[in-house]
């Protein structure tokens, strides 16, 4: 079972997402467990203070270290009493960019995954120094808090846990599996506003469909995310499909790539 422990000042942000679709199903099937803890419960002063003004002055409030460290200690003690360990993640715009390979690693994580949701101006630096968490960024922009990144992490990892999605094949042939973007998908009707569906998809010829999809995946990746193809080892088949794309003028220049040995 994939277990998350969320530390947040806004527990109410999670329920609406966790109560739907695959995340709901994953929990019902016992494959996913998400425990939400309110950081305010770990503030010990009379006013339950969880934030304070920054030393040195400046705008906004900073989340205090002690309630967070207490919350993490409490999760750790809980886990240890069950013979488990924890892994702490801090979503931050300063972290390393979230990737599918990181998400794959999380999906197989046997430890409880603690996600610390920052808010306001951020978190007292001593939390980072004391916990040495994985620092993960969703991208080069700033959100109001770590709650949405936490939900993104839960969603992306949970769908890779066998049994959460209806069809296990879905995660095999999608974007970023094998560092390729996915091929284009079509569903009924066969024509919309004069735009049809590629004939091959209606042919029932499984091998031709497989080759078409592979070629389209290579083309999409080449045109949209050439960085994913850099230093990639291509199979002989991929090389041939890329040559076809070039001869058809569908991709412009040869890709500098190596062939699989």
Q: Could you list the residues that contact ligand SAM (CB under 6 A)?
A: 91-94, 117-119, 121-123, 137-139, 141-146, 149
Question: Is the Cβ of residue 91 or residue 164 nearer to ligand SAM in the bound state?
Answer: 91
Asked if 21 and 159 count as a contact pair (C-beta separation under 8 A), the reply is no
Give φ, ψ of 232 to 5 degrees: -80, 145
Rounded to a whole number of angstroms, the minimum distance from the CB of residue 9 to ligand SAM is 11
Angle at 107 between CA 41 and CA 260, to 5 degrees: 150
Q: Which is nearer to ligand SAM, 67 or 145 (CB)?
A: 145
Task: With beta carbons less than 8 A apart as the criterion, state whether 225 and 181 touch.
Answer: yes
State which residue, 44 or 94, has the beta carbon closest to ligand SAM: 94
CA 205 to chain centroid, in Å, comes to 34
Q: How far is the CB of 132 from ligand SAM (least distance, A)?
A: 16
Nearer to ligand SAM, 60 or 108 (CB): 60
| Nearest residue to the partner ligand SAM, using Cβ | 118
> Cβ 98 to ligand SAM, closest distance in Å?
8
**Which CA distances in Å does 89 have to 4, 76, 126, 143?**
10, 14, 15, 17
Minimum distance of ligand SAM from residue 255's CB (angstroms): 31
Tokens of 95: 């972290």
**Distance of alpha carbon 31 from the chain centroid:** 17
**Please, what is the minimum distance in Å from the beta carbon of residue 134 to ligand SAM?**
11
- Cβ proximity to ligand SAM, 12 vs 139, nearer residue: 139
**How far apart are alpha carbons 63 and 54 in whole angstroms?**
9
Residues facing 192 on adjacent strands: 195
């Amino acid at each position: 079972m994939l277990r998350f422990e969320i530390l947040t000042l806004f527990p109410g942000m999670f329920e609406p997402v966790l109560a739907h679709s695959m995340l709901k199903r994953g929990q019902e099937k016992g494959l996913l467990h998400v425990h939400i803890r309110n950081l305010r419960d770990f503030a010990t002063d009379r006013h339950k203070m969880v934030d304070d003004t920054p030393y040195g002055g400046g705008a906004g409030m900073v989340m205090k270290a002690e309630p967070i460290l207490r919350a993490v200690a409490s999760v750790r003690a809980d886990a240890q009493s069950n013979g488990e360990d924890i892994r702490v993640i801090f979503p931050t715009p300063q972290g390393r960019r979230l990737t599918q390979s990181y998400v794959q690693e999380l999906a197989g994580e046997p430890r409880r995954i603690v996600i610390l949701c920052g808010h306001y101006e951020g978190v007292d630096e001593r939390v980072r120094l004391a916990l040495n968490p994985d620092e993960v960024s969703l991208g080069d922009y700033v959100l109001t808090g770590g709650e949405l990144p936490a939900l993104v992490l839960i969603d992306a990892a949970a769908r890779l846990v066998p049994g959460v999605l209806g069809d296990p094949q879905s995660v095999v042939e999608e974007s970023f599996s094998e560092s390729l973007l996915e091929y284009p998908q079509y569903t009924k009707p066969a024509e919309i506003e004069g735009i049809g569906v590629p004939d091959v998809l209606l042919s029932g010829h499984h091998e031709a469909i497989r080759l078409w999809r592979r070629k389209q995946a290579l083309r999409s990746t080449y045109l949209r995310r050439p960085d994913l193809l850099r230093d990639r080892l291509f199979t002989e088949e991929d090389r041939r499909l890329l040559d076809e794309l070039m001869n058809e003028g569908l991709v412009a220049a040869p890709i500098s790539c190596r062939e699989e040995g």
